[in-house]
């Protein structure tokens, strides 16, 4: 049974799976990014995450509880979520400016990255998304090698932060 408190997040995730089936991964990704940017706009300028040197990180995924509930409800991670993550990784591989791409370990990383980028833009900052990992799947981390290089850190530096977190990024003042 769905608890009423989690009905809306569950409906949203069902909507994601339905959209992938109805309109495809590309348009669903655009929709998720649009939602993230709109949410960022409503929150206003700001930088999120706990500082670690000149990087920031999230100790926990803000969507982990809802994703876990969703997967528990359906018994497995929907194939449509994997389709989106795979699509984004393929798109990033062909992107001419890879440093601007998000590291994606979960379907909701797209929404969250767009949210974080929009808020940082409004604060005059550029966001480099270095790495993330999904607390759900135990999967290996997703990295943005170009962003790591641009941030002036090593993959080992990022891995140390990921030991205590799920997402690592750097904010850079816009010139």
Evaluate if residue 85 carries a pLDDT over 80.
yes
Where are the extended beta strands (E) located within 35-147?
50-52, 55-58, 125-132, 142-143
Model pTM above 0.85:
yes
For residue 136, what pLDDT is reported? 66
Total tally of structural domains belonging to the chain: 1
| Residue 135 pLDDT level (bands cut at 50, 70, 90) | low
Q: Which domain, by its residues, includes 133?
A: 4-173
| pLDDT tens figures, 138-174 | 668 999 999 999 999 999 999 999 998 999 999 999 8
**Comparison of pLDDT for 32 and 69, the residue scoring more:** 32
For residue 101, what pLDDT is reported? 84
Between CA 89 and CA 104 the distance in angstroms is 8
Q: How far is CA 114 from the centre of its chain?
A: 8
């Amino acid at each position: 049974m769905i608890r009423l408190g989690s009905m809306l997040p569950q409906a949203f995730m069902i909507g994601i799976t339905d959209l992938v089936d109805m309109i495809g991964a590309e348009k669903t990704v655009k929709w998720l990014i649009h939602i993230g940017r709109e949410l960022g706009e409503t929150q206003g300028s700001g930088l999120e995450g706990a500082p670690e040197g000149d990087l920031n990180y999230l100790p926990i995924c803000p969507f982990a509880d809802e994703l876990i509930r969703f997967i528990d409800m359906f018994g497995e991670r929907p194939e449509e979520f994997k389709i989106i993550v795979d699509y984004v990784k393929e798109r990033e591989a062909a992107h001419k400016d890879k440093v601007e791409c998000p590291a994606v370990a979960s379907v909701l990383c797209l929404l969250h990255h767009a949210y974080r980028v929009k808020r940082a833009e409004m604060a005059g900052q550029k966001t480099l998304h270095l790495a993330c990992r999904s607390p759900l799947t135990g999967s290996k981390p997703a990295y943005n090698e170009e962003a790591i290089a641009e941030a002036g850190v090593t993959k080992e530096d990022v891995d140390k932060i990921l030991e205590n977190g799920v997402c690592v990024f750097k904010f850079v003042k816009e010139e």
